[in-house]
Structure 1
Amino acid sequence: MWRLNLIKEIADQANWIISSDVGIVIADKYPKAQHHYLVLPKSEISSIFELTREHLPLLEELHLLASNIVEVRGLQWADFKVGFHAEPSMERLHLHVISQDFVSPALKHKKHWNCFNTQLFVPYAVLHDKLKAENSFQRLPPHVRHSLLATPLLCNQCDFKPKYFPELKEHLAEHLQKKST
């Protein structure tokens, strides 16, 4: 079952880029940007819905691993989004560390875009604060998830509002090209 693929990925230490006593960093197998890493706990936690205040030290360690991978790669923290999907598709808790360029052949659908660029993506600090205050993170209602997935496309770097996804991808590639020159 594809939902369990992350568990298989972390079982093979050859996939580990960085590790600590409590967590592992791997490259996303289907990166949605130039740099896309996943930080996973070694403990078996299936998703954000299992987290409570007692997991805050673990989350802080995962966040530290996230900053370590950015530093090890010689990149700038400000160029990354770090957080969790509000509706995870894969088993095993995982923290996304993703560059904001979103230039990748694996970024194929509006759904991929909206999972990282709407409230379907929960920044690390938001989840941390919610757990601290409320001791849990609740699922979004189905109508809210569907609405967020249907959110009109909007560039994350300017005010461009493409009508079609291929236009957005082309536009994002132009941003990346300008940044690298």
Structure 2
Amino acid sequence: MPTCWLVPDDERHKPIQLLHYHTHTLGRGPETKIKDQKCSRQQVELRADCNRGVVSVKQLGSNPTSLDHVEVGRGNQVTFKPGQKLYMVNGLHPYTLQFREETSSSSSSSSSPSEVKHNPLKRARQERDADEERHQDVEKSCRVSASSCSHTPEKEPAGHWSQGLKGSMQDPDMQVYKDEKVVVIKDKYPKARFHWLVLPWSSISNLKALRSEHVELLRHMERVGERTARRCPGSGTLRFRLGYHAIPSMSHVHLHVISQDFDSPCLKNKKHWNSFTTEYFIESQDVIGMLERDGRVCVRDGAAELLKLPLRCHVCHAQFPTMPKLKEHIRVHLPS
């Protein structure tokens, strides 16, 4: 089984081994050498799954822990993966993950993560082995997918980031609702106070793969999305939209259910804003209508250019030069 190590970017202390399925509580103290008073002594709770190569992170402290500069939120839990960066508190004290195989016959495996980091040959050997293992995993996933599905295979390999929704669908911590046809999950990077995704269990890659036989499925997705919105706190004062991105970045067709306050730290740039406030966001009813009328969904030419449009308030249509200015303005439209 691989071993898991939490490695400080600034090398202020030795890597900390996270034992498989063992709960580790870290924060200010001698183990991390963090003296920052804003960092609680019990800032985060970490639990490694060495077989899957991930670590769950739960924020315990009152000041923000963040993953890739996205705040976790007190009491919330996120999945920390190799290649990502965990900031212990207030965007400071960064850490990365290392997973490596322990084998008694290999001299390189007896090296600590810090030794590997400073030995180019050992690091190259470790990276090569990891690449070979990932390649084998991807090939295996593709073989399983090809044998069990009748649809055209996805272009992206199984381990590609764009396939992330397929993992989230199976994650009980992400699920809000599920039935025999669909599952509702929380958006990992919500662009509003309430932001969910409704996904079918059937493997449908994107809007272009939809046909007239999918109309009833999409109607069911819409009903589930509307019910989810009605049951959320404050639904009486919030307005919701249900729709699809014209050119989604994530594979597997998904219906956005998003409140129109757009009050979220994850809403950061023009692309985010325009993807939900221009015609790039296609209403659920319009998608269903196209399938009923034409048997397919037609995405307008030049849809990607819509993401470059000027920043305009979705309520009063006032134009703003920057996202901070726009976000400051839209507060006047927030429900009290």
TM-score (norm 1): 0.92
Report which stretch shifted further, 12-21 or 100-109. Answer: 12-21
Shift of residue 26, structure 1, vs aligned partner: 0.8
Shift of residue 175, structure 1, vs aligned partner: 2.1
Match of 1:156, as an amino acid?
A: H
Structure 1 CA distance, aligned partners of 2:219 and 2:177? Answer: 16
Task: Give the match for residue 161 of structure 1.
Answer: 319
For structure 1, the 5+ residue unaligned runs are: none
Q: Which runs of 4+ in 1 moved over 2 A?
A: 138-141
Aligned positions of 1:72-83 closer than 5 A: 72-74=231-233, 75-76=235-236, 79-83=239-243
Shift of residue 145, structure 1, vs aligned partner: 2.5
Structure 1 CA distance, aligned partners of 2:216 and 2:292? Answer: 11
Structure 2 CA distance, aligned partners of 1:63 and 1:76? Answer: 19
Match of 1:84, as an amino acid?
A: Y
Structure 2 CA distance, aligned partners of 1:123 and 1:39? Answer: 14
Deviations 1:104-155 (A, max 9, x none): 11101100111111111100011010111111113443xx124311211110
Task: Give the match for residue 50 of structure 1.
Answer: 209
Task: Select which of 50, 56, 64 maps to 2:223.
Answer: 64
Q: 1:76 to 1:60 in 2, by over 3 A?
A: farther
Task: Give the match for residue 94 of structure 1.
Answer: 254
Task: Give the match for residue 5 of structure 1.
Answer: 164
Backbone CA RMSD of aligned residues: 1.5
For structure 2, the 5+ residue unaligned runs are: 1-159
Q: Which has the larger radius of gyration?
A: 2
Task: Give the match for residue 112 of structure 2.
Answer: none
Q: 1:16 to 1:34 in 2, by over 3 A?
A: same
Structure 2 CA distance, aligned partners of 1:173 and 1:13? Answer: 33
Q: 1:21 to 1:106 in 2, by over 3 A?
A: same
Instruction: State the secondary structure of the residue aligned to 1:13.
Output: coil
Aligned positions of 1:85-124 closer than 5 A: 85-124=245-284
Structure 1 CA distance, aligned partners of 2:203 and 2:333? Answer: 39
Report which stretch shifted further, 65-74 or 48-57. Answer: 65-74
Indicate if the aligned counterparts of 2:238 and 2:261 stay in contact, CA closer than 8 A. Answer: no
Q: 1:77 to 1:48 in 2, by over 3 A?
A: farther
Indicate if the aligned counterparts of 1:82 and 1:123 stay in contact, CA closer than 8 A. Answer: yes
Report which stretch shifted further, 39-48 or 11-20. Answer: 11-20
Q: 1:2 to 1:76 in 2, by over 3 A?
A: farther
Shift of residue 15, structure 1, vs aligned partner: 1.7
TM-score (norm 2): 0.50
Larger helix percent: 1
Indicate if the aligned counterparts of 2:290 and 2:298 stay in contact, CA closer than 8 A. Answer: no
Match of 1:136, as an amino acid?
A: R
Higher relative contact order (CA 8 A, sep 6+): 1
Structure 2 CA distance, aligned partners of 1:102 and 1:145? Answer: 22
Instruction: State the secondary structure of the residue aligned to 2:173.
Output: helix
Structure 1 CA distance, aligned partners of 2:282 and 2:252? Answer: 16
Match of 1:138, as an amino acid?
A: C
Task: Give the match for residue 171 of structure 1.
Answer: 329
Match of 1:58, as an amino acid?
A: L
Task: Give the paired residue count.
Answer: 176
Structure 2 CA distance, aligned partners of 1:47 and 1:162? Answer: 32
